Chain A
Amino acid sequence: MLHPITTVHYLLLSAALLLVGTIGVLTRRNVVIILMSIELILNAVNINLIAFSRYFGDVTGQIFAIFVIAVAVAEAAVGLGILIALFRNKETVWADEIELLKW
């Protein structure tokens, strides 16, 4: 007998995604993968919002999620644009080799 999937399950999935995304940002050294990890964090947010939206029967959460998706796209576009600008001057995507500015 399967248990029904409740809001809590979605929240746990979202928390797990947040954790995976955070670890990805902090440990991976490839800039493209760091950008992907940030997308994971934003998707964790979306799952949260949709789960709450469903729970409350309130449409606001879904609207919020659409905005978050739009922002995620804009961030990815700008991020890749900047990465290409950098790549033209120095051919690397490894965060360790981006080291001109240091304290």
Chain B
Amino acid sequence: MSQYYTTTDHFVLVPALMLALFGCAVLLFEVLVFPHPRQRKWLLLFVLLGLAFAGAGVWRQQNFLASQGIEELTAFGGTLTVDGFAIFFNWIFLAASLIVTLISYRYLEVEGEHHGEYYGLILLANCGMFFLATGTDLITLFIGLELMALCFYILVGFLREDRRSNEAALKYLLLGAFSSGFLVYGFSVLYGLAGSTKLRAVADALASREPWDPVVFLALATTAVGLLFKISAVPFHMWAPDAYEGAPTTVTAYLSVGSKAASFALLLRVFLMPLGAAREVWEPLLAAVAVATMTVGNLAAVTQTNIKRLLAYSSISHAGYILLGLIAGNETGIKGVLVYILVYTFMNLGAFLVVVALRRKDLLGEDLDDLAGLVYKSPGYAILMLIFLLSLAGIPPTAGFIAKYYIFLALIETRHYVLAVIGTLYVAVAIYYYFRIVRSMFLAPLADTGPLTTSFGLRLALVVTGVLTLGIGIYPEPFLGFAQTSLAR
């Protein structure tokens, strides 16, 4: 260890460096270079540039791994590891950030809270997500998680004048910080078991112990509580509907896909590698959590009249389905989890994009009735929303079907028949509440004749998410292949 910062270290770190650099630069530029509100569009361009540089960094890493024929590249003495898994998730995070950046411009103007900090926080949150997907050290993972979470606390409360936004931020912060405390307590016990914070060393230390060792169980239980909070699994889901409803809709969209995907990346890293040795302990626990999550998520969604709250409960239930893939745990299961997260990112973002378009100066646009008769006013939006909802429900030929198919296939391969049956039954419930939205859009008379709030970025984002949601469903092979090469090891 003569050199502290090698070229490999730099190569691995480039995407995070770019995101952090541009994230901080946006904060400075807003004050020093583009102080006038009319110059905000240059700021937006600057943010897109930062995302492009980060994407280029990930792209070069991917090419390097492929051209050298190696599976992983470690840096900083094993603290960061770029492998297929990290690259897969980094693409998802960057795509989510890009789409959210594109749709935010008009929306923030309508809300009257258009500040440069918003974009800075999005880039910094994405930087935290990078460390969650790439980190293989307990300290790095914890810092990445907190970087992301702190940005999200502020973003959720971004509408300072809106009491609902304040409340959502406070509730999210209190429960989020509480769960982080539990998680890091679990990490400290893991460090105590291994004498090292490297995930691989922790895995070796746990493998040499009994799975039912009480200290291992303490570490497992506290870590699991923290992680399940982050993915909003029942019984730790209480923050999600409140945070989703109160946050600005663009932030809700980002929270529901970016934060969730990053938390699942962390969950997969921790549960498959270090805690993999204690699988017989956590498998029944997670199975119970997954069933409870699907039950509460799906049943509570049925009675909601606020679209954001309905989508919040639907996203809780999706977390349950993703957990099922981890419980199956074989190659198909993990591949199913990755495909599910990829698909979920685009279909859930798409659904929120339509909600973003409903917001006007004089209309909150969050009520189910605000969608009434949308097809008579803007048929394109209504049809795209239909595609997203079909996909969320898991109906072919959309992408959501492929995702659910692999989860259920893995459950049957590993003989978890009961879980497969429960999961399938809840799809029927999900179809009911998603079709409440569809019925409102297509069969109810037109309620609100005002125009939709739309912009070039929003239309572009809608087309991209729509094409991907249908495209992955009709021609899934390249995406399945991508997931296959990205399996966590």
Q: How far is the CB of B119 from chain A (nearest CB, A)?
A: 18
B195 interface residue per 8 A CB criterion = yes
Point out the residues of chain A lying under 8 angstroms from B188, CB to CB: 45, 48-49, 52, 61, 64
Q: Chain A 61-79, CB within 8 Å of chain B: the 1/0 string?
A: 1011001100100110011
Cα A63 to Cα B188 in complex, Å, equals 12
Point out the residues of chain A lying under 8 angstroms from B197, CB to CB: 60, 64
Cα A19 to Cα B169 in complex, Å, equals 25
Pair A103/B146 contact, Cβ less than 8 Å: no
Q: Which residue of A41, A49, A58, A75 contacts B182 across the interface (Cβ within 8 Å)? A: A41
Pair A38/B184 contact, Cβ less than 8 Å: no
Pair A74/B170 contact, Cβ less than 8 Å: no
Interface residues on B, range: 35 or more
A82-B157 in contact given A49-B191, A58-B196, A103-B300 (Cβ < 8 Å) = yes
Point out the residues of chain A lying under 8 angstroms from B157, CB to CB: 82, 85
B242 interface residue per 8 A CB criterion = yes
Residues of B contacting A: mostly? helix
Point out the residues of chain B lying under 8 angstroms from A21, CB to CB: 181
Cα A83 to Cα B170 in complex, Å, equals 7
Pair B185/A82 contact, Cβ less than 8 Å: no
Interface residues of B in 433-479 (CB under 8 A from A): none
Residue of B nearest to A68 (CB): B184
Point out the residues of chain A lying under 8 angstroms from B379, CB to CB: none
B166 interface residue per 8 A CB criterion = yes
Residue of B nearest to A83 (CB): B170
Cα A30 to Cα B245 in complex, Å, equals 23
B residues sitting closer than 8 Å to A (CB atoms) are 138-139, 142-143, 146, 150, 153-154, 157, 160-161, 163-164, 166-171, 173-174, 177-178, 180-182, 184-185, 187-189, 191-192, 195-197, 241-242, 245-246, 300, 309
A residues sitting closer than 8 Å to B (CB atoms) are 11, 18, 21, 25, 31, 34-35, 38, 41-42, 44-45, 48-49, 51-52, 55-56, 58, 60-61, 63-64, 67-68, 71, 74-75, 78-79, 81-83, 85-86, 88-90, 95, 98, 100-101, 103
